[in-house]
Amino acid sequence: MDRSQKADAVAQLNAIFSEAGVVVVTRNLGLSVAQSTELRGKMREGGASYKVAKNRLAKLALKDTDYQDLGEYLSGPTALAFSEDPVAAAKAAVEFAKSNDKLEIVGGSMGGQMLDVDGVKALASMPSLDELRGKLVGLVNAPATKIAQVVNAPANKLARVFGAYGAKEAA
């Protein structure tokens, strides 16, 4: 890489850090190309991204962002998982690390809040933003459904009573 390519890489990483809701630092302990491709696919499915970057360039890109304290985790063969959704990157990284011992979670950060390995795992266990939206819509919709059932219940009972009287007279 020449100097201009490095400057472009730092600018690109800085833009990523400025927009990300969460950044998870992982350590690659010998992932094959197929495993790395599988991990990237799972990240994309969850709405996250996975990027291998030189530690020195990543540390430069971290300056003047909420994630500047992540520099302490950047040593050795590391990669960054990030997403706008505060849960997506952590969830995808932790799920992949459970099934593959060649990926190690080092730590992460959500905004200015630093997370250790346990913090990233706790974040991954939380429901995603879409799941929370679904639950909220269900909670808002439930009272309306119950009101409709209560309003219709007396009419249904009346119809059954009239039907029973009609059947009785016919017999």
Query: Over its length of 171 residues, how does the chain's per-residue pLDDT go in tens digits?
Result: 788 898 999 999 899 888 888 999 999 888 889 999 999 999 999 889 999 989 899 999 988 888 888 888 898 899 999 998 888 889 999 999 998 888 899 999 987 889 888 988 988 888 877 787 888 888 777 777 777 776 777 777 767 777 887 887 776
Residue 16, SS3 per DSSP: helix
Query: Token digits for 111?
Result: 């905004």
15: Cβ contacts below 8 Å, ≥ 6 apart: none
Residue 131: which H helix or E strand, with range? helix 129-170
Residue 81: which H helix or E strand, with range? strand 78-83
* Nearest-angstrom CA–CA distance, 11 and 17: 10
Does this model's pTM top 0.85? My answer is no
